Amino acid sequence: MTIKSFLQNKVAQNAGWLIGGKIAQMAVNFVVGLLTARYLGPAGYGLINYAAAYVTFFGAISGLGINSVILKELIDRPNERGMVLGSALLMRAISSVLSALMLFGAISLIDAGETITIVVVSLSGLSLVFQSAETLSYWFQAQLKSKVYAVSSLLAFLISSAYKVYLLATGKTVIYFAAVTSIDYLFLGVFLYLAYRMHKGERFRFSGEYAKQLLRKGIHFVLPAVMVCIYAQTDKMMLKQMLNETEVGYYATAVSICTVWCFVLTAIIDSVNPSIMQLYRTDYAAFEQRTRQLYAIMIYVCVLASLFYTALAKPLIRILYGEAYLPAAEPLRVITWYTAFSYLGVARGSWVVCENKQKYLVFIYFAAAASNVILNWLLIPMWGTVGAAVASLAAQVITILVVPLIIRPMRRNTVLMLQAAALRGVFKKL
């Protein structure tokens, strides 16, 4: 077996485990999630998703941008992985605790007097503390052993799902549902650590000097990540403040339906990224071709899915969520079309890291975040949830195509995306 065929085989196996694990999770989440949404109703479901928006926002801060570079660090420093992980874990743990405290302070001011809202958001915010342990998953990805992460993630998910079923069976209030995400991440961290020890992972070491280097490499991703969260989560936050949590429930339902299958895209990206990064060091032409191939998959698979959702929006919502959620059909028809742009942005990450273009992301995402806030402010009073969906779609187009064309060092990546859309250089043999 040649090195190339071996690598391709390992990549395929890696993708298989990631996709298989997510399919198993989706099967459980599909049933439990529907029951939860029906039980809580649009208002309760909207409140849970309102809390999730804040957790996502502060999660971008607590991540310190490390997740965007740690995989490459583990690949480039095979003999220093204990130091890489040890330094990253300690930094993430400290930043996560501080971020959880900041979240509590922020929600206490923004929703002052709304006790239930504050409690729900604060309980959801505890997940920030446990998310830092997910850093261990990159150690398994670097060695193409995503089977371990897939199994650990599935076990943690089953435990949190069992907790949800218990809440449904005993008729608990929305406050109890707020702790689900925290429980999921807590057990995921425990299982990943046990698996890391079982696979004889390197002993964790902290290096202050290396921590500074890692922070300098990741810091370029923090502000862009915050900007991403602004344009990805602003719609839910502004819908709650400008309208009510019920509208957030409709909007969140539309998002949930059109993204339920996107774990496949995430798994493909996570599995292909290591090979793209290795090709950058050995064969630049193959690196660009593999990047085009990844972009082409994102584009055409997403277009097919969007056509499906546009045609069947109302029947899907009526069958899955019931008549109470029918107002979610119209935003669903819009939201589904920004999926391709969103995952092109995710797939772009490996190109940005390899080409060392991180510093330009801040300009791209600042423009997108600013435009999304302005468009939400203008369109939500006019069109409600549909206005929020249009604002988010426009922000995605600005982020992926418009602004990168203006920035000369990023222009090549946009060209690769356009070539992928036209299927140019995708199937060509090197």
Tens digits of per-residue pLDDT, 333-380? 999 998 888 899 889 988 998 998 988 888 887 888 899 999 999 999
Q: Is the pLDDT of residue 34 over 90?
A: no
Task: Give residue 240's pLDDT band: very low, low, confident or very high (50, 70, 90).
Answer: very high
Q: Is the pLDDT of residue 8 over 60?
A: no
Instruction: Write down the residue that tokens 């999770």 correspond to.
Output: 25
Average pLDDT, the chain: 87
Read off the pLDDT of each residue in 150-171 and give the average, rounded to a whole number.
Answer: 90
Read off the pLDDT of each residue in 170-185 and give the average, rounded to a whole number.
Answer: 93
Q: Is the pLDDT of residue 4 over 60?
A: no
**Which amino acid appears at position 377 of this protein?**
W
List, for residues 100-126, the tens digit of each pLDDT value: 999 999 999 999 889 999 999 999 999
Q: Is the pLDDT of residue 6 over 60?
A: no
Least confident of 116-125, 129-138, 216-225: 216-225
Tell me if 253 sits within 8 A of 37, measured CB to CB: yes
3-state secondary structure of 422: coil
Which of 71, 92, 69, 89 lies closest to 205, judged by CA?
89
Q: Is the pLDDT of residue 169 over 50?
A: yes
How confident is the model at residue 122, as a pLDDT?
94
Q: Is the pLDDT of residue 264 over 60?
A: yes
3-state secondary structure of 423: coil
Between 341 and 227, the higher pLDDT residue: 341
Q: Is the pLDDT of residue 22 over 80?
A: no
Percent of the chain scored above 70 by pLDDT? 94
Structure tokens at 208: 């202050």
How confident is the model at residue 2, as a pLDDT?
47
Read off the pLDDT of each residue in 52-68 and give the average, rounded to a whole number.
Answer: 87
The angle formed by the CA atoms of residues 75, 79 and 80, to the nearest 5 degrees, is 85
Instruction: Write down the residue that tokens 């949404």 correspond to.
Output: 37
List, for residues 270-322, the tens digit of each pLDDT value: 888 888 888 898 889 999 999 999 999 999 999 999 999 999 999 999 999 99
How confident is the model at residue 308, as a pLDDT?
95
Instruction: Report d(CA 419, CA 91) in Å as an integer.
Output: 39
Q: Is the pLDDT of residue 425 over 90?
A: no
**Which amino acid appears at position 137 of this protein?**
S
Read off the pLDDT of each residue in 210-215 and give the average, rounded to a whole number.
Answer: 86
How confident is the model at residue 209, as a pLDDT?
87
Tally of residues, the chain: 430
How confident is the model at residue 236, as a pLDDT?
92
Read off the pLDDT of each residue in 385-399 and give the average, rounded to a whole number.
Answer: 91
Q: Is the pLDDT of residue 167 over 50?
A: yes
